[in-house]
Amino acid sequence: MPSIGDRIREIREARTLTQDQLAERSGISKGFLSDVENNKRNPSSEYVLKVANALGASIDYLLRGDEVAQASPRGPVTIPPELAEAAVRLELTYAQTVELLEAHKSVIARRSNKEIKRFESDDWVALHKAIKTVFG
Amino acid sequence: MAVKLQNNPTIRTLAHDLGARISSDPITAIKGHCHRQIKQFLKEFGDCATLTGLLALAAQKLGTTFREIHSDADLRNLIQEFAARREPCAAFFESELTHDVFGITFKLLNAGKFDLPYISIIDCRGSKTHRAYFTKWHELGHLLILTDQRRLAFRRTHALHEYKSPEESMVDVIAGEFAYYEPIIRPFVKGQITFETIDTARQALCPEGSYVSALFGLVKVWPVPCVLVEAKWAPKRSGEDFALRAVHVAVNDEARAADLQLHKNFRVPRRSLIHRVFDRVVDDGTAEENLAWWESSDGTQLPDQELRVLTKRIGDTVYALLIPV
């Protein structure tokens, strides 16, 4: 059965981080990290919290292997009229339109001192372009 | 601001979404909702003695990871990392992190079995770095009151006007509750209050918090009467009559109990050490003064009260601790 050390190594490698990088990011010593990964030492809860946050991983997964329950099932999809207009301009399929909508909704919160305004058709087009630029 | 927020329909809707009764005070209800969660996190974890630790714990429990951006190169690396993970948010990092945005939280759409569901990007480039600690709490504030995205949906490009939405103001209130969370701070704030003892407590509790935010956060809970004044060259509320004024004032509970009160925007007395430090006549120091030196704009003198005044000049601002003798 995998140990905490095994799971730390699993995620660190999935994130393509070296032990040095993870040690630096989490503010712990590389020697201690190496010992934990090799099951030579048992980390404290404070240590596991630091490593979990540095890895962007769930502490419950690190401690017990509990997989993270992902987002609840989607509710009804409402396509705003500005997106519908942009979808026509971009000749998007329904599935692509919903994907664009989901991408936009992935912004949960932002701290700013400027007003936010309604997304217009051109903004949806620009968003689609930005996604295409990054993902091809 | 609190009164306005209290009557705002968005804030009332939020309180209702979080399960508060229609008749209850929405701000108290929302803060209570957040306090219950934080208390539960602490109870479950049991090993958290500093504000830095509380921040890490709350981030984990609320499902987010902070990623700080200190340079444009950091941002490019982050875009590459999340593009490799096929996360659409990678396409927004650059366009969203404009000069007026301090932090932003994304939901991951392709999270794996061990991934936390969110990522919070904290922009620490340039002068934004001083706000990083509070920005982190601001992002957690949003997650503490996350219900669904109705209130944010489809309203997200940058406008020209400076404006803070009611929900953003509410989240600032929540961030203020926890950035200097009293149960964690209490053991660290004791003895004489000086700028040095405040900074010692800040270093022990959360070195990443800014000096000024720590002044306001720690004075409020220090168990001796104290008023913190931030003095700047500023006009009256009407926009005229520039003078050195107390632009921000924090009165702690002990000071209030001792009838020591000072209001925002009062003109700083010319003979006060605060004014002399501002005028660069003398360096920072300590002086024995009297509250009765302070007058409101209608000429009303404040009560006779001997004070010890300590000053700290930072740039064009003078901070002062007013402590009854």
Q: Is B135 on the interface with A (CB under 8 A)?
A: yes
Q: Is the whole model's pTM more than 0.90, yes or no?
A: no
Residue A119's pLDDT is 82
Residue type present at position A110: R
Q: Would you say B19 and B37 are in contact if contact means Cβ atoms under 8 Å apart?
A: no
ipTM of the prediction: 0.85
- In sign, the C-alpha dihedral spanning B32, B20, B62, B133 is negative
Which residues in chain A are contacts of B135 at CB distance < 8 A?
111
Helix ranges restricted to H, chain B = 2-6, 9-17, 26-45, 51-62, 72-84, 93-96, 132-144, 166-179, 182-185, 195-205, 211-219, 253-257, 273-278
Residue B154: which pLDDT band, with cuts at 50, 70 and 90? very low
- pLDDT at position B151 over 50: no
Got the DSSP string for B210-256?
-HHHHHHHHHTT-SS--EEEEEEEE--TTS---EEEEEEEEE-HHHH
CA distance B226 to B62: 35
Residues B62 and B136: their CA atoms lie apart, in Å, by: 12
Give the distance from residue B245's alpha carbon to the nearest chain A alpha carbon, in angstroms. 24
- Give mean pLDDT, residues B172-181: 93
Residue B118: name the closest of B110, B106, B134 by CA. B106
Token readout for B81 is 């990392």
Higher pLDDT, B71 or B238: B71
Chain B residue with the nearest C-alpha to that of A10: B114
Average model confidence (pLDDT) across chain B: 89
Question: How confident is the model at residue B36, as a pLDDT?
Answer: 95
Cβ of residue B207 closer than 8 Å to a chain A Cβ: no
> Which of A103, A114, A119 shows the shortest C-beta gap to B100?
A114
Stretch 271-300 of chain B: residues touching chain A, C-beta under 8 Å: none
Q: Is the dihedral of CA A35, A36, A40, A41 positive or negative?
A: positive
Two structure tokens written together for B29: 């209800």
Q: What is the CA B196 to chain-centroid distance, rounded?
A: 20
pLDDT at residue B159 above 60?
A: no
Whether the predicted pLDDT of B2 surpasses 60: no
Q: Is B115 on the interface with A (CB under 8 A)?
A: yes
Q: Which of A10-19, B22-31, B315-324 comes out lowest in average pLDDT?
A: B22-31
Q: How far is A108 from chain B (nearest CA, A)?
A: 5
Average pLDDT over residues B246-257: 94
Q: What percent of chain B has pLDDT over 70?
A: 94
Residue range B163-179: average pLDDT? 87
pLDDT of residue B1: 52
Residue to mutate among A63, A111, A133, with most B CBs inside 10 A, is: A111
What gap in Å lies between CA B320 and CA B272, rounded to an integer? 10
Whether residue B157 is predicted with pLDDT greater than 50 in this model: the reply is: no
Give the angle subtended at the CA of B112 by the CAs of B106 and B117, to the nearest 5°: 30
User: How confident is the model over A52-106, as pLDDT tens digits?
Assistant: 999 999 999 999 998 887 665 566 788 999 999 999 999 999 999 999 998 888 8
CB contact at 8 A, B319 and B311: yes
Confidence class of residue B99 from pLDDT cuts 50, 70 and 90?
A: confident
B205 or B157, greater pLDDT: B205
Contacts of A18 (CB under 8 A, 6+ apart): none
> A119 and B156 in contact by Cβ < 8 A?
yes
Q: Which of B27-31, B60-64, B93-97, B248-252 has the lowest mean pLDDT?
A: B93-97
The tokens describing B39, both together, are: 């208390």
Separate counts of helices (H) and strands (E) for chain A: 8, 2
